[in-house]
Amino acid sequence: METQKQQPSRFGKWVKNSITARMLMVGILTMILLIPLSFIKSLIHERMDRQEEVVNEINQKWGKEVLLYGPILKVPYRVHHIKEILNETTKKTKKESYTSTEYAYFFPNTLDITSTINPEEKQRGIYKTAVYKSNIDVTGSFTKPDFSEQDIKDEDILWDKSKLVVKTSNLKGVNSLVEITFNKNKYALHSKYQQDNTSYLDDLQLHKLESKSIKEADLPIENDVPFNLNININGSKQIRFIPVGKETNVHIQSDWKTANFLGEYLPQNSDKISTNGFNAKWKVLDINRPFSQESFNGLPDLKAYAFGVNFMIPVDEYQKSERSAKYGVFSDWINVLNLLFNTNHE
């Protein structure tokens, strides 16, 4: 008995011969395959958010990013004003003079920063982040402040009320008293509340440390004055410095092997990375940056010119999984297209 060949249905013929039908089927199958992928991506994002929460909590308790700005010499001076006062009875005006106190800020002539960083991984459950202990040694010198361009007379400069200022992003991580040796004497730096309203890097607030008035014999009035500041501080994520010296030299070394150099300036030594970690050196001159050695309009926000090192942890499992989920969409498309368009060869 002869077996009859089964004839394909009209729908089967249409799907087999119509490009439109095949594209429609590709769309339907892709949408179906995207459903499990969306659940996977949602789970990945949930875990990534949780990881960020845990990392922020660890960093908050250990000590946040370290950014150091200073030291800066703060010198007050008198400004003379004249105002007119109207006499309501006689309708005549008379002039009266009065004075106000303004502040000038002067950056160091030389600034040398040497820092040894000892990073480690902190882990909570399945989440981990990089934290570190650092020893920062800051040396340099100040030259005599120049008031001539502002037409400020010597008798209006209040040398006896001059102070030293340092700004940093991390006070919680400081492990020892902060003292600066200025010329022949030591001056303790005390925290002074200051609201940081700058728009750049809004999540990074700089805290102000200020000394008491400097003795006139220690001030750079006649000769250059050296200074030395040592800070032991715990931090996380990264460490950066602002090149406020007329010549700024920074040297950072560590045994961390996955460091990433960031900021406006990169290390100048070609042998900065080795199998034992990194040993990076920077040199920044005043001509390399767009700000001067003094400011008569308040202490400027210079966070945008910071540079340093980010202590990266290599790509974690969640980033790998997210990439796989993204590539999975394209893989599904390719598989569906191969399945449909290869039917002509069957």
| Cis status, amide bond into 71, omega within 30 of 0 | yes
State the average pLDDT for the chain: 79
Query: What tens digit of pLDDT does each residue of 110-163 get?
Result: 999 999 998 887 766 666 777 888 999 999 999 999 888 888 888 889 999 999
Q: What is the CA radius of gyration of the chain?
A: 32
**293-329, pLDDT tens digit by residue?**
999 988 888 999 999 998 876 555 545 555 555 555 5
pLDDT grade, residue 199 (50/70/90)?
A: very low
Provide the pLDDT confidence category of residue 344 given band limits of 50, 70 and 90.
very low
pLDDT at 124: 65
Q: What is the mean pLDDT of residues 232-241?
A: 89
DSSP 8-state assignment for residue 174: B
pLDDT digits (tens, 9 = 90+) for 17-31: 566 666 666 666 666
CA 187 to mean position of chain CA atoms: 28
pTM above 0.85, yes or no: no
Structure tokens at 27: 């769309």
Q: Domain residue spans in the chain? A: 18-52+320-345, 65-74+105-314
Q: Provide, rounded to the nearest whole percent, the portion of the chain with pLDDT above 70.
A: 67
Q: Answer with the residue of higher pLDDT: 128 or 291.
A: 291
Dump the DSSP string for 47-87: HHHHHHHHHHHHHHHH---EEEEEEEEEEEEEEEEEEEEE-
For the record, the structure tokens of 337 come out as 């297209």
Q: What's residue 7's pLDDT?
A: 54
